[in-house]
Structure 1
Amino acid sequence: MSCVHYRFQSRLTYDSLQFEGLNISAGELKRQIMRSKRLKFCQLKISNAQTDEEYTDDALIPKNTSVIIRRIPAAGLKSSNRRFVGHQAGRWREPSPRADPSLLSLEQLLKTENLAEAKASEEDKLKAVMYQSSLCYYSSR
Protein backbone atom coordinates (compact mmCIF):
# COMPACT_ATOMS: atom_id res chain seq x y z
CA MET A 1 0.00 0.00 0.00
CA SER A 2 1.20 3.48 -0.87
CA CYS A 3 0.35 6.58 1.11
CA VAL A 4 0.38 10.37 0.95
CA HIS A 5 0.95 12.43 4.07
CA TYR A 6 -1.23 15.52 4.29
CA ARG A 7 -2.00 18.24 6.77
CA PHE A 8 -4.26 21.25 6.73
CA GLN A 9 -2.44 24.56 6.78
CA SER A 10 -3.75 25.36 10.27
CA ARG A 11 -2.70 22.02 11.79
CA LEU A 12 0.70 20.87 12.99
CA THR A 13 0.40 17.12 12.55
CA TYR A 14 0.22 15.10 9.37
CA ASP A 15 -2.42 12.48 8.58
CA SER A 16 -1.90 9.67 6.08
CA LEU A 17 -4.10 8.51 3.24
CA GLN A 18 -3.48 5.05 1.81
CA PHE A 19 -4.10 4.13 -1.81
CA GLU A 20 -3.18 1.50 -4.40
CA GLY A 21 -0.51 2.22 -7.00
CA LEU A 22 2.52 4.45 -7.41
CA ASN A 23 0.66 7.77 -7.49
CA ILE A 24 -2.75 9.34 -6.97
CA SER A 25 -4.41 12.18 -8.84
CA ALA A 26 -4.94 15.40 -6.92
CA GLY A 27 -8.66 15.28 -7.68
CA GLU A 28 -8.99 11.79 -6.19
CA LEU A 29 -6.93 12.85 -3.16
CA LYS A 30 -9.30 15.79 -2.61
CA ARG A 31 -12.35 13.52 -2.81
CA GLN A 32 -10.89 11.05 -0.32
CA ILE A 33 -9.85 13.79 2.12
CA MET A 34 -13.28 15.42 1.92
CA ARG A 35 -14.92 12.05 2.56
CA SER A 36 -12.64 11.11 5.47
CA LYS A 37 -12.85 14.57 7.13
CA ARG A 38 -16.56 14.97 6.27
CA LEU A 39 -16.05 18.33 4.60
CA LYS A 40 -18.88 19.96 2.67
CA PHE A 41 -19.23 23.03 0.49
CA CYS A 42 -15.56 23.94 0.18
CA GLN A 43 -12.75 23.58 -2.29
CA LEU A 44 -9.32 22.27 -1.44
CA LYS A 45 -6.00 23.48 -2.78
CA ILE A 46 -3.16 21.00 -2.56
CA SER A 47 0.49 22.02 -2.60
CA ASN A 48 3.73 20.15 -2.04
CA ALA A 49 5.05 20.71 1.49
CA GLN A 50 8.70 20.90 0.39
CA THR A 51 8.51 22.80 -2.91
CA ASP A 52 5.22 24.76 -2.50
CA GLU A 53 4.21 23.55 -5.98
CA GLU A 54 0.43 23.71 -6.31
CA TYR A 55 -1.23 20.66 -7.86
CA THR A 56 -4.09 20.85 -10.35
CA ASP A 57 -6.90 18.26 -10.25
CA ASP A 58 -5.36 16.12 -13.00
CA ALA A 59 -1.79 16.24 -11.60
CA LEU A 60 -0.34 13.01 -10.25
CA ILE A 61 1.06 13.01 -6.72
CA PRO A 62 3.76 10.37 -6.12
CA LYS A 63 3.56 8.00 -3.16
CA ASN A 64 5.13 9.08 0.16
CA THR A 65 4.73 12.78 -0.70
CA SER A 66 3.87 15.32 1.99
CA VAL A 67 1.26 17.87 0.95
CA ILE A 68 -0.43 20.86 2.57
CA ILE A 69 -4.17 21.34 2.15
CA ARG A 70 -5.81 24.77 2.09
CA ARG A 71 -9.57 25.05 2.48
CA ILE A 72 -11.28 27.65 0.28
CA PRO A 73 -14.99 28.53 0.45
CA ALA A 74 -16.93 27.19 -2.49
CA ALA A 75 -17.75 29.87 -5.04
CA GLY A 76 -21.37 30.85 -5.56
CA LEU A 77 -22.71 29.69 -2.20
CA LYS A 78 -24.42 31.98 0.25
CA SER A 79 -22.93 32.36 3.69
CA SER A 80 -24.42 30.16 6.38
CA ASN A 81 -23.44 32.68 9.04
CA ARG A 82 -26.80 34.25 9.81
CA ARG A 83 -25.58 36.66 12.49
CA PHE A 84 -24.49 39.27 9.98
CA VAL A 85 -27.24 38.93 7.40
CA GLY A 86 -28.83 42.31 6.77
CA HIS A 87 -26.36 44.14 9.01
CA GLN A 88 -23.89 46.63 7.61
CA ALA A 89 -20.57 46.32 9.36
CA GLY A 90 -19.36 49.37 11.23
CA ARG A 91 -22.71 51.17 11.35
CA TRP A 92 -25.04 51.62 14.27
CA ARG A 93 -28.62 50.66 13.65
CA GLU A 94 -31.23 53.31 14.10
CA PRO A 95 -32.75 53.18 17.56
CA SER A 96 -35.97 51.26 17.62
CA PRO A 97 -39.07 53.12 18.76
CA ARG A 98 -39.36 53.04 22.51
CA ALA A 99 -42.16 50.84 23.77
CA ASP A 100 -41.84 52.06 27.36
CA PRO A 101 -41.83 55.87 27.83
CA SER A 102 -40.40 55.49 31.35
CA LEU A 103 -37.01 54.43 29.93
CA LEU A 104 -34.24 57.02 30.00
CA SER A 105 -33.29 58.64 26.72
CA LEU A 106 -29.77 58.21 25.37
CA GLU A 107 -28.90 61.83 26.24
CA GLN A 108 -29.94 61.29 29.87
CA LEU A 109 -28.15 57.98 29.97
CA LEU A 110 -24.86 59.55 28.81
CA LYS A 111 -24.82 61.66 31.98
CA THR A 112 -25.77 58.81 34.34
CA GLU A 113 -23.01 57.48 36.59
CA ASN A 114 -24.47 54.07 37.49
CA LEU A 115 -25.44 52.51 34.16
CA ALA A 116 -25.96 49.04 35.63
CA GLU A 117 -29.07 50.10 37.55
CA ALA A 118 -30.33 52.70 35.06
CA LYS A 119 -33.71 52.01 33.52
CA ALA A 120 -32.88 51.89 29.83
CA SER A 121 -32.59 49.42 26.99
CA GLU A 122 -29.48 47.26 26.84
CA GLU A 123 -28.52 48.77 23.48
CA ASP A 124 -28.63 52.31 24.87
CA LYS A 125 -26.62 51.25 27.92
CA LEU A 126 -23.91 49.84 25.66
CA LYS A 127 -23.78 53.04 23.62
CA ALA A 128 -23.46 55.05 26.83
CA VAL A 129 -20.65 52.82 28.07
CA MET A 130 -18.77 53.24 24.79
CA TYR A 131 -19.22 57.01 24.92
CA GLN A 132 -18.19 57.32 28.57
CA SER A 133 -15.15 55.09 28.13
CA SER A 134 -13.73 57.43 25.50
CA LEU A 135 -14.31 60.65 27.46
CA CYS A 136 -10.90 60.56 29.11
CA TYR A 137 -9.22 60.78 25.68
CA TYR A 138 -11.11 63.87 24.58
CA SER A 139 -10.62 66.79 26.95
CA SER A 140 -12.94 69.11 24.98
CA ARG A 141 -16.07 67.12 25.87
Structure 2
Amino acid sequence: MSYIHYKFASKLAYGTVIFNEPLISLSVLKREIMSREKLSAKHCKLQIFNAQTQKEYISEEDLIPKNSSVTVRRVPLLDVKTSNKTSVQYVLPFTG
Protein backbone atom coordinates (compact mmCIF):
# COMPACT_ATOMS: atom_id res chain seq x y z
CA MET A 1 0.00 0.00 0.00
CA SER A 2 1.09 3.56 -0.75
CA TYR A 3 0.12 6.69 1.15
CA ILE A 4 -0.01 10.44 0.66
CA HIS A 5 -0.47 12.47 3.83
CA TYR A 6 -2.26 15.76 3.29
CA LYS A 7 -2.98 18.69 5.57
CA PHE A 8 -5.04 21.76 4.88
CA ALA A 9 -3.11 24.92 5.65
CA SER A 10 -5.79 25.95 8.16
CA LYS A 11 -5.96 22.62 10.04
CA LEU A 12 -3.68 20.86 12.51
CA ALA A 13 -4.36 17.21 11.63
CA TYR A 14 -3.22 15.26 8.57
CA GLY A 15 -5.49 13.10 6.43
CA THR A 16 -4.34 10.13 4.38
CA VAL A 17 -5.03 8.98 0.83
CA ILE A 18 -4.29 5.29 0.25
CA PHE A 19 -3.53 3.89 -3.22
CA ASN A 20 -1.75 0.90 -4.78
CA GLU A 21 0.82 2.46 -7.13
CA PRO A 22 4.25 4.00 -6.48
CA LEU A 23 3.03 7.37 -7.85
CA ILE A 24 -0.29 9.21 -7.95
CA SER A 25 -1.24 11.95 -10.41
CA LEU A 26 -2.21 15.37 -9.11
CA SER A 27 -5.68 15.10 -10.66
CA VAL A 28 -6.41 11.79 -8.89
CA LEU A 29 -5.06 13.11 -5.58
CA LYS A 30 -7.25 16.22 -5.81
CA ARG A 31 -10.30 14.10 -6.61
CA GLU A 32 -9.59 11.80 -3.63
CA ILE A 33 -9.08 14.70 -1.22
CA MET A 34 -12.24 16.45 -2.41
CA SER A 35 -14.20 13.24 -1.96
CA ARG A 36 -12.83 12.57 1.54
CA GLU A 37 -13.40 16.16 2.65
CA LYS A 38 -16.84 16.36 0.98
CA LEU A 39 -15.88 19.39 -1.10
CA SER A 40 -17.61 20.37 -4.34
CA ALA A 41 -15.66 21.19 -7.49
CA LYS A 42 -18.40 23.73 -8.26
CA HIS A 43 -17.42 25.89 -5.29
CA CYS A 44 -13.66 25.58 -5.00
CA LYS A 45 -10.46 24.20 -6.43
CA LEU A 46 -7.42 22.85 -4.60
CA GLN A 47 -3.81 23.97 -4.68
CA ILE A 48 -1.35 21.25 -3.64
CA PHE A 49 2.15 21.98 -2.32
CA ASN A 50 5.00 19.69 -1.30
CA ALA A 51 5.04 20.00 2.51
CA GLN A 52 8.86 20.05 2.72
CA THR A 53 9.82 22.28 -0.22
CA GLN A 54 6.59 24.33 -0.55
CA LYS A 55 6.80 23.75 -4.33
CA GLU A 56 3.35 23.83 -5.90
CA TYR A 57 2.26 20.92 -8.07
CA ILE A 58 0.70 22.72 -11.03
CA SER A 59 0.08 20.32 -13.92
CA GLU A 60 -2.77 17.85 -13.47
CA GLU A 61 -0.38 15.21 -14.85
CA ASP A 62 2.30 15.88 -12.18
CA LEU A 63 3.18 12.65 -10.40
CA ILE A 64 3.55 12.63 -6.62
CA PRO A 65 5.61 9.81 -5.10
CA LYS A 66 4.17 7.52 -2.45
CA ASN A 67 4.76 8.37 1.23
CA SER A 68 4.84 12.10 0.46
CA SER A 69 3.30 14.83 2.59
CA VAL A 70 1.47 17.70 0.95
CA THR A 71 -0.19 20.92 2.08
CA VAL A 72 -3.58 21.74 0.58
CA ARG A 73 -5.10 25.16 0.07
CA ARG A 74 -8.72 25.57 -0.94
CA VAL A 75 -9.36 28.36 -3.45
CA PRO A 76 -12.99 29.48 -3.78
CA LEU A 77 -14.50 30.01 -7.20
CA LEU A 78 -16.37 33.27 -7.59
CA ASP A 79 -19.47 33.71 -9.72
CA VAL A 80 -19.54 37.09 -11.41
CA LYS A 81 -22.75 38.05 -13.16
CA THR A 82 -22.49 39.62 -16.59
CA SER A 83 -25.03 41.93 -18.19
CA ASN A 84 -26.39 39.27 -20.56
CA LYS A 85 -27.65 37.06 -17.66
CA THR A 86 -24.85 34.48 -17.95
CA SER A 87 -22.36 33.62 -15.27
CA VAL A 88 -18.58 33.73 -15.58
CA GLN A 89 -16.34 31.97 -13.05
CA TYR A 90 -13.03 33.42 -11.92
CA VAL A 91 -10.38 31.72 -9.81
CA LEU A 92 -8.50 33.89 -7.38
CA PRO A 93 -4.74 33.26 -7.59
CA PHE A 94 -2.86 32.38 -4.43
CA THR A 95 -0.64 35.21 -3.34
CA GLY A 96 1.22 34.55 -0.22
Match of 1:44 in 2: 46
Tell me which structure has the larger Cα radius of gyration. Answer: 1
Counterpart secondary structure, 2:36? helix
Higher RCO (C-alpha under 8 Å, 6+ residues apart): 2
- TM-score between both structures, scaled by the size of structure 2: 0.76
- Pair 1:66 & 2:69 matched: yes
Give structure 1 regions of 4+ aligned residues with deviation exceeding 3 angstroms. none
Question: Of Structure 1 and Structure 2, which has the larger fraction of its residues in helix?
Answer: 1
Match of 1:3 in 2: 3
Give CA-to-partner distance per residue, 1:61-119, whole Å, 9 cap, x none: 000000000000125x25xxxxxxxxxxxxxxxxxxxxxxxxxxxxxxxxxxxxxxxxx
**For residues 50 and 5 of structure 1, what CA distance do their matches in structure 2 show?**
12
| Structure 2 residue ranges without an equivalent (≥5) | 81-96
Aligned length in residues: 77
- TM-score between both structures, scaled by the size of structure 1: 0.52
Question: Of Structure 1 and Structure 2, which has the larger fraction of its residues in strand?
Answer: 2
| Structure 1 residue ranges without an equivalent (≥5) | 79-141
